[in-house]
Structure 1
Amino acid sequence: MTAAYVALEGGHVIEGRGRAPGTARGELVFTTAYTGYEESLTDPSYEEQILTFSYPLIGNYGVREERFEDDRVHPRAVLSRELTDDVADWLESEGVPAMDHLDTREVVTDIRDEGAMKCGIAVGEDVTEEDALAELEACKGMSEHTDIGAQVSVDEAEVHGAGNDGETVALVDCGAKGSIVSSLVERDAEVHVLPYDASVEDIESVDPDVLFISNGPGDPANYEQAVSLVEAFVEDTPVAGICLGQQIVARALGGTTEKMTFGHRGVNQPVLDLDSGRVVMTTQNHGYTVDEPGDALEVSQINVNDDTPEGLDGVEYDVLTRQYHPEANPGPQDTLDFFDDVLAMAGDRSQRAVPADD
């Protein structure tokens, strides 16, 4: 059996079975999702993290590329109670270390008790505990990546749904899932996907009906250019955001954000809409949240478990954001109407901009 060790920040070393060789270091997080492992593994929001699946069997319906959210695996390593050969072979082909035959309940309990933590992993024929501990020590010496957006964003502008008759969307790609783009295109939008550090002039050249800030990894405080774009356009252009996008919009409009203890990652997070009283189940993947929304935004939805803001609406501007992933993929489809609401908001603004006939 191929050796595998993961060394946790608190000093605990766990042994398992190696499924894909290599060494890695990063922030250890967990997801409670029991389906959608292909989507989770290709979600750019997991960049620079080591992902633990709490569900005991991962891979029982194979690996299909059409379910991918991006063109590569983003977690630096993967832990599971049991991985099928299909998933293990896929991770090995991607150069992503993986291990199983460990008690993931213990790992999840450690994270819930101590919070998301740094860790090191070593997998291979001749690796030892010391190799994993060496990765952990190297990880402890690393500061958080302040330019993580460069690793997950497009390098240059792309257009999806070219020629569609609906609204024009300028989507700032901070690590966007592919299904966010397709959800807009399916609603007849023409989506211009722009780099995370796009300039004001880049947005102006698109002349969008709505400025959309995507999901993505890391601390929203590190996305200063995206914050400045919201500041520059919010008075004249509707603004929408998902996940990291909600946090960026809040910071641009005077709000504050904070790191969570272990985040929300799974497909069964309950969200209460404060206006209707309706509770929906949502897909989530984030380690930061909005602390205070500021005076320009009001909280419209909250997480039932911990009361963190899940939806923000503009008080004086056309703004609509969600902390969860309304496109699901994987997960429940309770909130797909968010995209309809965003495009309706943009349509209302574009209609108001048209001079009335004399």
Structure 2
Amino acid sequence: MDGSAAARQQPTAGGRLLRREAAVLVLEDGTTFTGESYGAIGTTFGEAVFSTGMSGYQETLTDPSYHRQVVVMTAPHIGNTGINDEDQESSRIWVSGFVVRDPALRPSNWRSQRTLEDELRDQDVVGICGLDTRALTRHLRERGAMRVGIFSGEAAQGSNLLDQVTAQPSMAGAELASEVSTGEAYVVAAQGTKRFTVAAVDLGIKAMTPERMAERGIEVHVLPADVSFEQLQQIRPDGVFFSNGPGDPSTAPQVELLQQVLLAGIPFFGICFGNQLLGRALGFGTYKLKYGHRGINQPVLDKATGKVEITAHNHGFAVDAPIEGEVPAPAGSDFGRVRVSHICLNDDVVEGLECLDLPAFSVQYHPEAAAGPHDAAYLFDRFVGLLESSKTVAGEKN
């Protein structure tokens, strides 16, 4: 049986044959791909992006950074390991749509509790399968990430599909962190002896991030995206963390909060969106990448050590800063000197910032990397070292 026939008659977890409906994917430039329904039937819109990870689709789906994006998986076979309740990065699927070439006929993994497609259907996520994802990925690489619509079932027969796609808002200029952040503060307790307290501003935080800090004796207070500096100070944090998240960093109101944190001398660590906000707080610009970095196989150079790390990425924006040498922060002398600490070896995009006169650093990639790789896990230890140094200095002053 060829791939298209398998897609039309795929056994579900219960063994019954699932007959798929026609589906179509329409890009804003008018390019159209036909396929078959996958997950829920209906219509969805978002920004078309591609992820190059060979595994980790469950973590991708539940990453809040993918809010309002339709994710194209470049690996052809998706769903092989099913879905479990342990690998979720948040309480729900955040992608707007999901695009795969060949869905697994059935999951085969001892940890699997249900099929990927059942999970997509249960959470009303519209997807498409049976199309040439390699051709689609090449198109997005050449033309750039763009708005897209997936239409399946009766919706696929509409005559104004492109008009519907072009009527959707662009990712540029979108403020989305407030849409994915926690509504209420909560605490992730330190494992073993508590050593430090960290205020983590949730801009789309993944569950594994506070877990990695808790493993190192940090009590993590996860705070809503609209937290004020005065509210943050009430927990008397030893350090502040800004998480990953969706949207355009130029619209983020948290830049002012971060400047207050830096000027107060509180140690800071940022990941992904947090890296972009550190850049903006220091006075650098940010810009939208042509098609972004997404996947778990991106090579990054640590300029201080010369070490190359294979890292997990999910970002469509980047910091505009000189990649060589030390420079004064454009925001003014209060922020001291800054240098780019990491760069992507594929395209020289800034992948990390380090303040030389303030206790602050950030990286554009994901050292928590629940689906792997774990080359960058040492960055949490670097944050602990920053907290220790700051506490020692504070103790000497007292």
TM-score range, shorter chain: over 0.9
8 Å CA contact 2:43, 2:155 repeated in 1: no
Residue of structure 1 equivalent to 2:68: 48
Do the aligned partners of residues 126 and 7 (structure 1) sit closer, same or farther apart at CA in structure 2, a change above 3 Å counting?
A: closer
* TM superposition shift of 1:355: 4.0
Tell whether 2:383 aligns with 1:342: yes
Q: Is the 8 A contact 1:271 1:281 kept in 2?
A: yes
**3-state DSSP class of the match of 1:228?**
helix
Deviation for aligned residue 1:36: 0.3
RMSD: 1.7
- Do 1:5 and 1:132's aligned partners in 2 also have CA atoms closer than 8 Å? no
Displacement, 1:125? 4.9
Q: Does the 8 A contact of 1:310 with 1:322 survive in 2? A: yes
Do 1:250 and 1:297's aligned partners in 2 also have CA atoms closer than 8 Å? Answer: no
Hey, what does 2:291 align to over in structure 1?
262
Deviation at residue 330 of structure 1 after TM alignment: 1.5
**Pair 1:170–1:245, CA change in 2 (3 A):** same
Give the aligned partner of residue 156 of structure 1.
184
Question: Partners of 1:167 and 1:131 in 2: how far apart?
Answer: 56
Equivalent residue, structure 2, for 1:352: 393
Find the aligned partners of 1:356 and 1:270 in 2 and give their Cα distance.
41
Q: Which residue of 2 aligns with 1:12?
A: 31
Q: Are residue 37 (structure 1) and residue 57 (structure 2) matched?
A: yes
Question: Which residues of 2 match residues 161-240 of structure 1 at below 5 A?
Answer: 161=189, 164-224=193-253, 226-235=254-263, 236-240=265-269
Aligned mate of 1:285, from 300, 310, 314: 314
SS at match of 2:211: helix
- 1:308, 1:108 → 2: CA distance? 20
State the TM-score, normalizing by the size of structure 2: 0.86
Query: Structure 1 CA distance, aligned partners of 2:188 and 2:314?
Result: 25
Q: Which residue of 2 aligns with 1:68?
A: 88
Whole-Å separation in 2 of the counterparts to 1:143 and 1:344: 36
Asked if structure 2 preserves the Cα contact closer than 8 Å seen for 1:33 and 1:266, the reply is yes
**TM-score of the superposed pair, with normalisation by structure 1:** 0.95
**How big is the shift at 1:76?**
0.5
- Name the aligned partner's letter for residue 96 of structure 2: R
SS of 2:134's equivalent? helix
Q: Distance in 1 between matches of 2:397 and 2:284?
A: 37
For 2:70 and 2:155, how far apart are their aligned partners in 1? 22
Pairwise CA distance, 1:135: 3.1
The one-letter code of the counterpart of 2:28 is E
Instruction: Give 2:151's match in structure 1, choosing from 122, 132, 150.
Output: 122
After TM superposition, list the pairs within 5 Å mapping 1:290-309 onto structure 2.
Answer: 290-292=319-321, 295=328, 296-309=337-350
Could you tell me which amino acid in structure 1 is paired with residue 102 of structure 2? E
Q: What is the alpha-carbon distance in structure 2 between the residues aligned to residue 211 and residue 181 of structure 1?
A: 12
Maintained 8 Å contact 2:172/2:288: no
Gaps of 5+ in 1: none
Return the alpha-carbon distance in structure 1 between the equivalents of residues 376 and 219 of structure 2.
21
Q: Is the 8 A contact 1:18 1:124 kept in 2?
A: yes
Displacement after TM superposition at 1:62 (Å): 1.1
Return the offset for 1:162. 5.8
Match in the other structure for 2:101: 81
C-alpha distance 161-143 of structure 1, shift in aligned 2 (>3 A): closer
Rg larger for: 2
The letter for the 1-side match of 2:366 is H
* Paired residues of 2:47 and 2:171 also in contact (CA < 8 A): no
- Quick one: distance in 1 between partners of 2:345 and 2:383? 24
CA distance in 2, matches of 1:133, 1:212: 41
Matched, 1:330 2:371: yes
Three-state SS of the structure 2 residue aligned to 1:127 is helix
**Greater mean alpha carbon deviation, residues 146-155 or residues 261-270:** 146-155
**Per-residue CA distance 1:141-173 (angstroms, 9 max, x = gap):** 667564311221000111111695111110010
Change (3 A) 1:142 1:268: closer
**Total equivalences in the alignment:** 355
2 CA distance for matches of 1:233 and 1:126?
A: 49
CA distance in 2, matches of 1:208, 1:327: 21
Checking the alignment, whether the CA contact within 8 Å between 2:42 and 2:155 is kept in structure 1 is no
1:244 corresponds in structure 2 to 273
CA distance in 1 between partners of 2:79 and 2:231 (Å) = 41
Gaps of 5+ in 2: 1-19, 107-114, 329-336
Q: What is the aligned counterpart of 1:135 among 158, 164, 175?
A: 164
Contact 1:5-1:129 at 8 Å conserved across structures: no
Output one character per residue of 1:256-306: Cα deviation in whole Å (capped at 9) or x when no partner.
111100000011100111121111100000000011266232111111111
Q: Secondary structure at the match of 2:230?
A: helix
1:15 partner letter: T
